[in-house]
Structure formats: structure tokens, C-alpha cells
Structure 1
Amino acid sequence: MDRRSTIGLLILLLGSPALAQSALTGHGVENIRDHGARGDGRTIDSPAINRAVQAAAKQGGGVVLVPPGRYLSFSIRLLDNVTLGLSAGAVIEAADPDIHGRHYDAPENYLEQQFQDFGITHVHNSLIYADGASNIGVVGPGMLHGLGLDREGPGDRWWQRDSWQSARALGISPKEFMLRDPNEAAQVGRANKTIGLMNCRNVRLQDFTILQAGHFGIIAHGCTNMALDGIVIDTDRDGIDIDCCRDVRVVNCTVNAPKDDAIVLKSSYALGRKVMCEDILIQGCKTSGYLMGSLLDGSYRPSDYPAPDRIGVLGRIKMGTETNGGFRNVRIADCLCTNTRGILIGIVDGGTMEDVSISGIVLRDPVNHPLFVHHGARMRAPKGTPVGTIRRVRFEDVQASGVDPRYPCGVEGFADGPVEDVSFTGIDVQSAGGGTAADAARDPEYRRETSLEVSYLKTLPAHGLWARHAKRLSVRECRFTTDVPDARPTIALRNVQGAQVDGLSSSKPRGEAVSAQASTGIVLGDVQVLA
């Protein structure tokens, strides 16, 4: 096939003239069928796909073309300068170890899961993975179907850190280490991620669809200069996990994930050291928590998943499940979140979170708090790690409707770890209302050692905004309305130093306001302030 014909074929299959031209600049195209792939949904085609990847890499890089068909696969290993091109009508299906044998690549490293669970510690046990590769991509309108991927792991052992020894310290391989634990031994040869990336540079993931993604749709550790654009994920566990990465753009993606997080930023210890997650943009994305598969078939059926806290589905945008390295310079903008939990960010394992901007968000029928900042001291981290810091977080231009009245917006720190410099500007929240005087008088449970989730607080004593253990809180031009009268104050503050409230609008009848105690630097009215 001559160059002009090849470019034409790539434009037809991948739908991108620019991508087709750039992919062919100095490099070639390897069609996986030329390397023995059948695409009949019965033959294991991963050996042929990996031969095509190796052939492209040997030539200095290029496109590995996946034409229409259904390709049953175990682990596919991306190499430097190789882009996997998924044609329209192409489906790569994760083989089922219980049917086809346990032939996925084994978990790769010596870190094990000392400070995070099994699922996020390894990437080689994925349908598609890259480890230390540069200039790689997965692009095109095809699909990755994680039918044979696991959705659960063997559990974690981080809590055994006082007696824990790594495989390296014991002088054995990770696989040998795992074989000592029958739960982990059962994972060898299985996979739980659709795409796993570790220490990669210059990554492009664009325009494909993932269905039933396993434990993770896309998880990236320690990657730099990575773009995720136009991806659709319909799954029942995590959609997109960005962990310890720098310079990442997640734009125009749609993620349905009723049983876990849709898009989440982490800063775990999976690299064996503290690494900050920084310079991240999440923009123009849509998240939801409908029944898996109902996004792609257009039925948008509700999921009955209650979650361990019995509140309901997840499917949200979140920062901070693990926080060892911290977060810096993060912008989440212009996103639509429907039938999900609200946006939750925080620090729980040490680390610093600073300079975070969340703006232009529309939340419809959030399952819990529309916006929440949480600082806890779980400290799933090496001994001696100090508690973390949260400062300079800005929420602006957020519209939330259909809010459960039990769960207002919130800021929750702890006595020796107050949350600093959080601002709410132009926030409009509509909830059902109906809070009682008993709700207004509640003193929510205080937990210093806690994970990021805040459902333990239960019904809060404000219908608009709750804050405890915070410094320099700003609330400007915000509107909190209720469908029926609510006996709680609009804003309730506890142990907050230097709060400023300006331009507050609320529909709550003034006659039902809870009496407030004066505090320096705050405007009273629908605001309750207690030391």
C-alpha cells in the first residue's frame, strides 16, 4: 500500500486527517491482521497485537492499526513511539481467565500495597499497559471491552505496616511474595484495569470508548504531558484515575461510574515515594452514576447501588482518596455532573493541597454534598509523616439543584489541621429544605482520623454551608434556597477564624433563624457562629 492510500485508510478508520498525517511522518503502519490477528471474537489475538507493536517500535515507531473486528486479548504492551489506532467497528475484548486461562502479565513491582490497595499498585496486570514509555497513544473511535477484567482485588495490607516487609527486603520477586498470600496468589495471571500507565511521557488517549472497565478504566501513575480527550467510559468501578502525574489534560470526556469515582486525582505511594499530582486540567467533562451500560444504550436507567454508607451511587469528580504527595495547581471547570455524588476534595494521608480552582460546574440531583473540602488524618503513610495542609481552594460559578437537604456544602478540618483560605463565590444551591430545630441543634461527630468520605457527619446543622476548623473562609454572592421552610441557619460555622460573608441570599424564613453568637469579622443574619 502506498503512502497516499495508507493516509486515506487511516483517515477513514480513525476519522482524523491530522492524526493520520502525523502518525505517518517518518514512520509506518502495522496492521495487526498482517501479524496474524483474526478478530473473530474466539481467537486470542494479543500475541499478534504485541508482534505488531514490537514491529512498529523496531522501525522507530508508528501506528498499530486495529481494523474492524472483535479481538480477544490478554495484556497488550505499548512501547516507545507507538500509537494503537482503534478503527470504527474495532473492539478489543479482555479475555476471561476463568474461560481462557490466566495469561495476563503478572504484577510487576516490589512496592506491593503497603500504603494503598492492590488495584492501584501495579499496571502490568492490565488489558493495555505501558511502563516507562514515551510518545505513546490509544486513539480512534473503536472500543475496549473489559469483559474479562476483575472488579475487586484481594484487599489491602497497609494496616500491617508495623510488621510489613517488602519483597525486595525479603530477597524474593513480587510474584513469589504474592504466592505467600493465597488471596494475592489468585491474582497472578488475572487483570483488573483496562489501561494502566506507569512513568510514561507524552501520552495521548483520544476518542475511544471503554465498556465494563474492570476496577479501573484508565489509571496513570507518575506520567507527564498526558492528554485524555473525547473518551467515553461506561463502567461500574473507577473511570479515570490520575495519580502522582504532572501536566495532564482531561477534556471532553464522559464517564458513567455508579459504583465508584468517575474522575479522580490521587497522590498515592504507588511509586514508592511521595510525588505531587500537579498542573492538572479537567474541563468540559460529564459524569454520572446510572446503571452500567445504560449510558451507551441511551436508556439512562437508575442504579440501585447503595454504597457502604447506604447513601447511594458515586460517579463523581474527586481529589484525595490517597494524598501522600499532595496536589498543586488543579483546575476543574465547565463540567456537568448528573445523578452522582458531589465534588469532594481533601487531604487524609499527609501532603499539601494548594491552588485549586473549581468553576462552571452544574450538579443536578447530587446524592450527597454538592461541594465539600475535607481534611483528615488517616495517615496511610510512612511513619513520621506529618499531617497535611489544605490552602487556597476556590469554588466559583457552581449551580446545584435537587440537593438532598441533609447534605449542604461543607468545609471540615480538625483542630490541629484547619482548612485555610477556601472561597465560595457565585454558588447557587437549591435543596428540598425541611430541616428541623433538632437538626439545627446537632453537633456533628468529630473525627480526626478518617478517610476522605464525610458521610459520618450525617445531617448537618445548616441548609447551605457548614464549616468547622477552618481559617479565612470567604462566602460571596452565594444563593441558597429551599423548596419548603428549613429551621436551620443558612450557614453554620464552628471554630472558624476570619470568615467573611458578603451578598448572601437565602429563601429560608428569617422568623425561623437560629440565634447566633457574635464573632469578630462576620456578618450575622442567616449565619450561625459558635466557638
Structure 2
Amino acid sequence: MKNENPDPITRRQLLGKITVPALSLAGLSAISTYAVANEYPPKTQAASHLPPTAFPVYNVRDYGAKGDGTTNDSAALQAAIDACHQQNGGIVLVPAGDFMIGTVQLRSFVTLHLAPKARLLGSTLKSDYKAGEGIPPGNGNMVLLFAANAERISVEGQGAIDGSGAAFNNGRGDGTGPGGTPGNMDRPHLLILYKCKHVLVRDAFLTNSAYHCFRILHCSNVQIHGVRIHNRVNRNNDGFHFNDSSYVHISNCDIACQDDACALFGSNQFVTVTNCTFSTRWSIFRFGGGKSQNITVTNCVIMESYGCPVKISTGRGQLENFIFSNIIMRNVTGPIGIGFSGTSRNNNNNNTPASEPSFVRNIQFSNIQATVVTRPVDHPEIPFVVKPFPGEDNSCITLNAMNDVYLENIRFSDIHISYAGGGTAAQAAKREIPAVASEYFGVWGTEPYGPPAYGLYARNVKGLTIQNVRFEFQQKDLRPAVVMDNVQDAYISGLQVMADKEGESVLRLIDCKEIFLSAARLLNPAKVFLQLEGKNCEAITLQGGELRKAEKQIAFTRGADKKAITG
């Protein structure tokens, strides 16, 4: 065959022949200018033995790092990072080995690259750590790796960052949960970024933090891809923890942790999470107050997760435009809880001024398959028992606003949830629900424990859509499938539900208005399908459906009147 390229040239010769303007047009001006003007690799101690590369490389061993797992290599790693930063950026290489470190600062334009057999190993001595310079206290600011007011930082490679967090386990958490007394924050997080721009983290394995694994605070343009987190050696072992950050994109990550897997507190906006797996004791997606808006979660698998996989709990805040779609939940409790009180709560990251309106609205859940267990189960690798809160048993979807505030425009479509069941007659009889909206289990933490419905409980909701939803249970449950209290403007179509023939009713509507219910299907025999309660029930429409297994389709009690039924 004739040679199509009889005079091949090397890459270095090609770069020497092409002018800088031409390379600029190709989007390569930064790399090519350096390549034309300088020998590759640069004649420095840091890179003298490395093959040609587009960026200068600073090997931490060239700065004195031993990588033997016992020598403190903090100073060597910091020197390599500082040199890279001072030379306008490049790659800091952590080669194979165990590099034991304390607190180290990342800097602008530096890529920290972890070779596949490299491990940054956190020291077990508290004296080797300090607060990150410029990091506000918050949930503590003691840290292994940090950056503040930096830009274009990357952490990459298939190596590991191990915080040796078991050495800091004193049996106490930080006390920031319901009813706790804050404390024990003097222990290192694995990674904190504060007011950083254009951050990239990919491929690395992050594990064994003494506190939160990953704190992203007031950052913008954050990309996290292909990261693995296993964080179950201490209390408050969060996975990702975001505060007031924007343009955040997470994909193809595997997260197993002890506390919140992906907490978003404060004003987080323009966030996407896709193609990830999660498992935790407490919750997966945890939202607090502030202005959390424009967030999507899709194509995710949630396994063995308790404390409610999707937990939205706020006093004051402006939370809107959330979409959760294409999600599998296997062996969870919750599985969805939204609580809204409209009043300030000091412990819930509220930063919405009292002069601004407070709302939770426009939240959609679609294409979700879930199995819900009776109560939380300990994960075998967590070295301590996490006692369930009262009210975590026999959980359901909870939409809970109270007093004079409402959740608005909440939509469920194409949902199939199989519950363990086990609800009692005492739970089903509950009518006066505590005026609590802090945590989904907090609502039910009074005797008798557990919600009065096995599928969905909704209070103070305007604009509720339930379309093609199926609720069923595995063992006897005397509670209604759905309880609605002061719900207005609801469209319910294609609801399929199980019931216990000894239960009072399948659906219970208390003081509800403008409810359109069509094409419902009762899956097994029951006494009453729809029970209306309260004198404020009005404009209730029941149309079509397969309800022959109900002895009675509609019943009226506690002041409800037949005039409430229209159509």
C-alpha cells in the first residue's frame, strides 16, 4: 500500500512549525505557547524525569515526600502545591505510596493528581491539623485538604484520600440534629472548599473522614464526576455537603455514608445530580432553608437508606423548582418528607430575611420504584448502633405544612411503592397531628408513633397532583392509604391502592376542597373507599374507577355533608 504520509514529523517538530496565532484558533494557545518557547519537559527538578506533557508536573517525591505511611509528608505536599501555583499552575503528582499528611492548602490553577496506587492518609494526631485559613467556623473548620477564594482547582485520579476518621471517634456526634446540643466539631473534615470557582473533582476515592467528607461552601461552577465515597467510621459522616453554591453538577458517583449523603443547605441553585448510587443511615437528599431553586435529580439508585431519602425541611425559605425522576429506592424509610412551617428556626440554615416571602413550591416526583421497610436497620460496617427516632417506624410519604402556610404545586406521577405495612388501629385513629415540621420523624414522634396513613399523608397543600400512583403493603395495615388534611385543588387520577378490610377507610379527606378523583382502583376488599371528614369539605368529585371491592364508596363523618360531593 502506498504511504499516505511519507515524511512524518514528531509532535515537537509540529509544534515548532505551527505559528502561535494558528494554534490559538485551534483553542490551544496556552499549551502551544509554552511548548514552542520552552523545552518539554521543563528543566526543573520537579519534572526532569517525566515524559513530555502539556502541563508542568510537580512530583511530591521531588519535594521530599516519603510515601511510607509513617512520615508526615504535609510540608512536602504543600511545597509542591505552592511551587505549582507560583509557576501559574500545572499538575501536582502524588505517585504510588501512602503519604501521611495533616492540613494542606490547595491553590488556584493546581490539579492534584492521585496515581492509582496513591493514597493521601490523614494523620491520627489532632496536632497535625488546623482550621483552614479563611474558612468560617460553621460545622467546624478543622480540615485535611482545603482551599479558600481559589479558582480552577482540580482533584483527580484513581487514588484515595483516607481521613483515618476512626481515630477521632469519641462516641459523640456534633449535636446539630433534632433536640441535640451542638458540640464535638473539633475534628477534621476531609475536604473543604470555600468561595472557590471552577472546581473539578473526578475519579478519586474519598473515605474514612472524621467528620463530613466533602464541604462545598459558597462555591460556583463545581463539577464532580466518577467519585466514590465510603464514609462510615464516625458520626456525622456526610458525603457531599453544599452550602450556598451554584452551578453544581454531580454524575456517575457511588456514595455510601453514615449521615446526609447529599445535603444542600442555604441557597443552592442550578444543581444537577445524575447516574449515581447512594446508601446512608440518615437521608440522601437533605434540604434546609435559604433559596434552594432549580435542582434536578435523575437516574439514581438509593439502597438501604433511612431517615428519609428525600428530606426537605425548612422554617423560612424559598424552595422551588425541584425535579426527582427515574429513581429506584430499595429498602428505605420515609421515603419522601417535606416539612414547612414558615417560621424561623435557628438550627436549620435559614438565611431568608423575614421581609421576603417564604414558600415551598413546584416540586415533582416521577418514575419512582420503592420498597419501604418497617424501621431502620443498622449497616454492618458502621461501628456503632444508631437508635431509631420515635416515629421512624411505619413511615410514609409526608407533605406537612402547618398553621397558615402551604406547600404549593406538588406532583407525583408514575410512582409504585411497596410498604412493609404493620400500621395499627391507634395510628389510624390519629386526627390531631402535632404542629411540627422540623423532620419527618419529628412529626410522628408522639404516642402513638407513626403516621395515620401508610402511603401518603398531606397537610396544608395547594395544587396537588397524583397521577398513575400505586401504593401497596406486604403485611396487615389498618391505616388508610392516603390521608389529606386541608388540601385544596388536587387532581388524582389512576390511583391504585390496597386496604385492610378491618380498616376504617381507604382514603380520608379532612376539610379538603376542590378535589377531583378519577379512575381509582381498589386492589382488595375494604369497608369504605372514600371518607370525608369535617364541615369544610366541599367540591369533591369522585368519577369512574374500579371500586366494587368496597362495601361503601363514600362515607361522611365529623361534620362532613353529602353536599360536599359534586358531579
- TM-score greater than 0.5 by the shorter chain: yes
Q: How far has the Cα of 1:520 moved from its partner? A: 3.6
Counterparts of residues 310-349 of structure 1 (less than 5 Å): 313-314=281-282, 316-320=283-287, 322-323=288-289, 325-341=290-306, 342-349=308-315
Residue 398 (structure 1) aligned with residue 368 (structure 2):
yes
Q: How far has the Cα of 1:378 moved from its partner? A: 5.0
Give 1:508's aligned residue: 499
Instruction: Give the count of matched residue pairs.
Output: 443
* Paired AA for residue 496 in structure 1: V
Give 1:410's aligned residue: 398
Counterparts of residues 328-407 of structure 1 (less than 5 Å): 328-341=293-306, 342-366=308-332, 368-376=333-341, 377=343, 379-380=345-346, 381=350, 385=354, 388-404=358-374, 406-407=394-395
Counterparts of residues 489-528 of structure 1 (less than 5 Å): 489-508=480-499, 512-514=503-505, 516=508, 519-523=512-516, 526=529, 528=531
* Paired AA for residue 431 in structure 2: D
Q: 1:389 to 1:150 in 2, by over 3 A?
A: farther
Cα shift readout 1:5-37 (whole Å, capped 9, x = no counterpart): 99xxx9xx9xxxxxx99xx54x31100001110
* Paired AA for residue 226 in structure 1: V
* Paired AA for residue 88 in structure 1: P
Q: How far has the Cα of 1:318 moved from its partner? A: 2.0
* Corresponding residue SS for 1:472: strand
Q: How far has the Cα of 1:156 moved from its partner? A: 7.0
Report if aligned partners of 1:489, 1:526 keep a CA contact under 8 Å in 2. Answer: no
Cα shift readout 1:385-416 (whole Å, capped 9, x = no counterpart): 36731000001011101433711112011122
User: Matched residues in 1 for 2:155 and 2:275: separation?
Assistant: 20
* Corresponding residue SS for 1:478: strand
Residue 452 (structure 1) aligned with residue 439 (structure 2):
yes
In terms of mean alpha carbon deviation, does 517-526 or 246-255 score higher? 517-526
User: Matched residues in 1 for 2:502 and 2:358: separation?
Assistant: 41
Give 2:150's aligned residue: 133
**Larger RCO (alpha carbons 8 Å, 6+ apart):** 1
User: Matched residues in 2 for 1:51 and 1:110: separation?
Assistant: 21
Match of 2:111 among 64, 83, 98: 83
User: Matched residues in 1 for 2:153 and 2:135: separation?
Assistant: 25
User: Matched residues in 1 for 2:401 and 2:94: separation?
Assistant: 50
* Corresponding residue SS for 2:492: strand
Match of 1:481 among 472, 475, 489: 472
* Paired AA for residue 452 in structure 1: E
Give 2:551's aligned residue: none
User: Matched residues in 1 for 2:191 and 2:460: separation?
Assistant: 40
Report if aligned partners of 1:203, 1:226 keep a CA contact under 8 Å in 2. Answer: yes
Report if aligned partners of 1:317, 1:344 keep a CA contact under 8 Å in 2. Answer: yes
The RMSD of aligned alpha carbons is 3.2
The TM-score normalised by the length of structure 2 is: 0.72
Give 2:423's aligned residue: 435
Cα shift readout 1:243-266 (whole Å, capped 9, x = no counterpart): 1110001111111113x1112111
Q: How far has the Cα of 1:344 moved from its partner? A: 2.8
Match of 2:190 among 194, 206, 215: 194
Residue 256 (structure 1) aligned with residue 243 (structure 2):
no
Gaps of 5+ in 1: 14-19, 160-180, 268-275, 290-312
Residue 50 (structure 1) aligned with residue 50 (structure 2):
no
User: Matched residues in 1 for 2:533 and 2:508: separation?
Assistant: 7
Match of 2:275 among 268, 274, 284: 284
* Corresponding residue SS for 1:447: coil
Q: How far has the Cα of 1:347 moved from its partner? A: 4.0
User: Matched residues in 1 for 2:529 and 2:486: separation?
Assistant: 17
Give 1:73's aligned residue: 101
Counterparts of residues 4-23 of structure 1 (less than 5 Å): none
User: Matched residues in 2 for 1:252 and 1:244: separation?
Assistant: 23
Report if aligned partners of 1:444, 1:460 keep a CA contact under 8 Å in 2. Answer: no
Q: How far has the Cα of 1:363 moved from its partner? A: 0.7
Q: 1:328 to 1:507 in 2, by over 3 A?
A: same
Match of 1:208 among 204, 223, 228: 204
User: Matched residues in 1 for 2:498 and 2:219: separation?
Assistant: 47
Cα shift readout 1:118-155 (whole Å, capped 9, x = no counterpart): 33xx3xx2111110110111100001110057466776
Q: How far has the Cα of 1:454 moved from its partner? A: 2.8
Q: 1:143 to 1:110 in 2, by over 3 A?
A: closer
Report if aligned partners of 1:349, 1:379 keep a CA contact under 8 Å in 2. Answer: yes
Give 1:303's aligned residue: none
Q: How far has the Cα of 1:345 moved from its partner? A: 3.2
Gaps of 5+ in 2: 1-37, 375-392, 518-527, 535-567
Report if aligned partners of 2:97, 2:117 keep a CA contact under 8 Å in 1. Answer: yes
Report if aligned partners of 2:338, 2:440 keep a CA contact under 8 Å in 1. Answer: no
User: Matched residues in 2 for 1:211 and 1:384: separation?
Assistant: 37
Give 1:106's aligned residue: 131
Give 1:223's aligned residue: 219
Report if aligned partners of 2:478, 2:502 keep a CA contact under 8 Å in 1. Answer: no
Q: 1:519 to 1:79 in 2, by over 3 A?
A: closer
User: Matched residues in 2 for 1:141 and 1:444: separation?
Assistant: 54
Report if aligned partners of 1:495, 1:530 keep a CA contact under 8 Å in 2. Answer: no
Give 1:95's aligned residue: 123
* Paired AA for residue 385 in structure 1: A
Percentage of pairs with the same residue: 26
Q: 1:347 to 1:406 in 2, by over 3 A?
A: closer
Q: 1:66 to 1:444 in 2, by over 3 A?
A: farther
In terms of mean alpha carbon deviation, does 197-206 or 410-419 score higher? 410-419
Cα shift readout 1:314-346 (whole Å, capped 9, x = no counterpart): 2x32232x42x2200000111111110232332
Q: How far has the Cα of 1:453 moved from its partner? A: 4.4
Q: How far has the Cα of 1:452 moved from its partner? A: 3.4
* Corresponding residue SS for 2:213: strand
User: Matched residues in 1 for 2:459 and 2:115: separation?
Assistant: 52
